[in-house]
Structure 1
Amino acid sequence: MTLLRRVLLGIVLLAVIGYLGAVAYMYTMQRALQYDNGGVVTSLAETTLVGAEAVAIPSDGSVVNGWYKAPQPGKPLIVYYKGNSGSFSKEHERYEKWTQDGYGFLAFDYRGFPASPGSITQQNILDDATAAFDFAKAKGFPIVIWGRSLGSGPATYIASIRDADALLLETPFLSAVGVAAERYPYLPVYWVMRDQFPNNEWIRHVNEPVLIAHGTADKTIDVSNGKRLYDLAPNKDELWIVPDKGHSDLWAAGIWDHAATFFAKAEAAAGH
């Protein structure tokens, strides 16, 4: 073997070892890379919410902690599935606006996020989402579902197995594994990713009317995800694409006005 061949073989071997090392690192650390579960918990006393209460919902031998408020007569209860960053409690501005307009809400942290003990896995998130929905449903009010970003996964899953009056998805992914593949096209994410959240499969079994909202400047989950997911929804209502808005901009861009109109129409169709 010539010196050149040995050098080339050495380079190839180093590249293979480096690649396998990157795959091994991703496999081992994937949940730490996938979830952003740090942050502080805002207390109810720090908000302007009136009449809301802290709740602890049993979930598969554990508990998830959140806030609940019943709606005013003629309004539904929003079951809110939070996004990936921090605690649900930091979004209290949303809950304050909803309750001011007469809507009830249930919002909470999945296990492993700041307010709820435990570990984060896809199955735990789906179990927590189911426990939360069933808790809300038992209150006897009309239910609408709102899932944001990561929360689009449990929201779509729940809408596919439970009955609600509407499903709103804010900056959703087609699938979590698809987003990972877009970011890391050189890694075999479809083979090694544990928590894939296949919204593209779950949405096919959603009978509720669907509104999807996305911004064209979203750098976290590309707007094409929202468009493709909407195409798969059996009961389409609206695809609201907001020019030049990013992943966290839709609240300020007026998503609540669209949501309130959407929910009112869905409630009327449901006869509530």
Structure 2
Amino acid sequence: MKTITLFITLMLAGCSVTYTTESFVYQDDKPEKELNIGKIQMELVEAEISAVVNTVSLSTQDGIELRGVKLINKNALVNIVFFSANGMKISSSSKILNKFSLLPANVIWFDYRGMGISDKNDKLSVKNLQLDGLSVFDFSKNEFPKNLPVLIHGLSMGSIIASYVANNRETDALILDGAISTIPQLVENAAPTWSKLFYSINLSTELSKINNMELIKKYNKPLLLLIGENDSTTPVENSKALLDLSPSEAKVLAIIPKTEHGETMKKDKGIRAYQDFINNLVCCTSE
């Protein structure tokens, strides 16, 4: 994540640095020309996964073109709208689609605006990202098979977008993976203890107000929290706090042993915990 490396900048910049959404959220200088969809399909073939992947696109309210991928698995039990981590682009992280295929699931995943193959605007705001999240969800609902539950999965920074969308749209379940509680807490976790003697970090009002805990208080549908035992970016305590706040009667905290931030779906135990959650969800929704 970008937050892991921002402290090098701080050391060079002096005693105090203020971060805005534009400087905090990863942005490419310009969009990638195109996605190598053939490479992604070959990764599925090599893993002996019988799924088909295609490119998708949509236009936002302010005229930005977002682009992404749609994975369709003939054996899918659920549909998943995936919101990735800060700086996690489809072009460099496409193998996570193989992991989703193991669940098995259909997936739609868009690069955020200003990242990967999606267009960039002159100004970026949290509101932009939230509205984009709603657009992606609405688009996905129309693209997915209608007979399967629709889940929202947010990884790291994507957990904030996922929770926002889940509170503003009808969905069947929410998965928070390496969940952020608040941005100030995220920055606090990422800063080495010794470094706090030499500089301070100031966040813009917009970033300071991001609070996943308040969103989870309002979400009462099935909830899965995936977290790595060794995650220092969004520690296990964060996910435990979110679990305690959730009013859901079907909530699960899966702590994956010997796992760092953003690595839960690379581990067999992470996939099994996800599969167990889906099996329980499908069983209950089909009754």
| Number of aligned residue pairs | 249
Residues 1:216 and 1:98: Cα distance change in structure 2 (over 3 Å): closer
Shift of 1:223: 2.3
Counterpart for residue 275 of structure 2? 260
CA distance in 2, matches of 1:221, 1:111: 24
Residue 52 (structure 2) pairs with residue 45 (structure 1): no
Residues 1:89 and 1:143: Cα distance change in structure 2 (over 3 Å): farther
Residue 244 (structure 2) pairs with residue 234 (structure 1): no
**What do residues 168-218 of structure 1 show as CA deviations (whole Å, max 9, x unaligned)?**
11101111232224456774746x342343111111111221111112321
Shift of 1:118: 1.8
Residues 1:245 and 1:138: Cα distance change in structure 2 (over 3 Å): same
The structure carrying a bigger helix percent of its residues is 1
Give unmatched runs, 5+ long, in structure 1. 1-20
Counterpart for residue 235 of structure 2? 222
Alignment match of 1:145 (pick from 141, 144, 152):
152
Which shifted more, 38-47 or 109-118? 38-47
**What do residues 19-66 of structure 1 show as CA deviations (whole Å, max 9, x unaligned)?**
xx754x414x6632x223459775211123442210111222212110
Counterpart for residue 114 of structure 2? 112
Shift of 1:108: 1.0
CA distance in 2, matches of 1:59, 1:154: 16
Conserved? CA contact 1:166–1:263, under 8 Å: no
Residue 286 (structure 2) pairs with residue 271 (structure 1): yes
CA distance in 2, matches of 1:45, 1:163: 34
**What do residues 119-165 of structure 1 show as CA deviations (whole Å, max 9, x unaligned)?**
44211111111111111112334211111000000111111111111
SS at match of 2:206: coil
Residues 1:260 and 1:101: Cα distance change in structure 2 (over 3 Å): closer
Shift of 1:221: 2.0
CA distance in 2, matches of 1:134, 1:219: 34
CA distance in 2, matches of 1:212, 1:156: 12
CA distance in 2, matches of 1:237, 1:268: 15
CA distance in 1, matches of 2:276, 2:39: 29
Alignment match of 1:195 (pick from 189, 207, 224):
207
Alignment match of 1:175 (pick from 171, 178, 182):
182
Conserved? CA contact 2:156–2:178, under 8 Å: yes
Q: Matched residues, percent identical?
A: 24
Residues 1:181 and 1:163: Cα distance change in structure 2 (over 3 Å): same
Bigger Cα Rg: 1
Residues 1:118 and 1:224: Cα distance change in structure 2 (over 3 Å): same
Which shifted more, 213-222 or 79-88? 213-222
TM-score (norm 1): 0.80
Conserved? CA contact 1:106–1:136, under 8 Å: yes
Matches within 5 A, 1:1-272: 22-23=15-16, 25-27=17-19, 31-32=22-23, 34-38=24-28, 43-48=36-41, 49=44, 50-60=51-61, 61-72=63-74, 75-99=77-101, 102-119=104-121, 120-139=124-143, 140=146, 141-183=148-190, 187=200, 189=202, 192-196=204-208, 197-235=210-248, 236-254=250-268, 255-271=270-286
Conserved? CA contact 1:180–1:189, under 8 Å: no
SS at match of 1:46: helix
CA distance in 1, matches of 2:261, 2:76: 32
